[in-house]
Structure 1
Amino acid sequence: MNAEISIFGVLVPSVLVCAIVAYLGMSVVARCLRYAGVYRFVWHKSLFNLSVFVCLLGLSVLLLTKVY
């Protein structure tokens, strides 16, 4: 995995880019789960959202390492 990614000449850590992608994905997933009513069955909404974020972050890092 590359240590940095150049965005318009600015070097940013690749994990930061993955975290932003994971956050955007988590917000979409959270909105879909809220619409479907899944949060009624979840004990702690914040911990559930954190676990979804960590899973999406791991997936985005995995996909980024496959690309590079």
Structure 2
Amino acid sequence: MTNEALLTVIQRRLREISEVQHALARERAWLVAQTTPLRMFSKLPSVVLAEAEAQGIALH
């Protein structure tokens, strides 16, 4: 593999990692925003899960 090809592969992988990190940061921010209502029992966990699914966030 040439240096240029190797550099291209590394750059592509770094872009993929960056995209995943961005998605995780968004998910984390959303989860933090949900913490207070859950602690105060102003939202049911089932409601929070439904909202997460509606936003395309898959909780494991």
Compute the TM-score of the two structures, normalised by the length of structure 1: 0.41
Larger strand share, 1 or 2:
1
Return the structure number with greater relative CO, CA threshold 8 A, min gap 6: 1
* Larger radius of gyration between Structure 1 and Structure 2: 2
Compute the TM-score of the two structures, normalised by the length of structure 2: 0.44
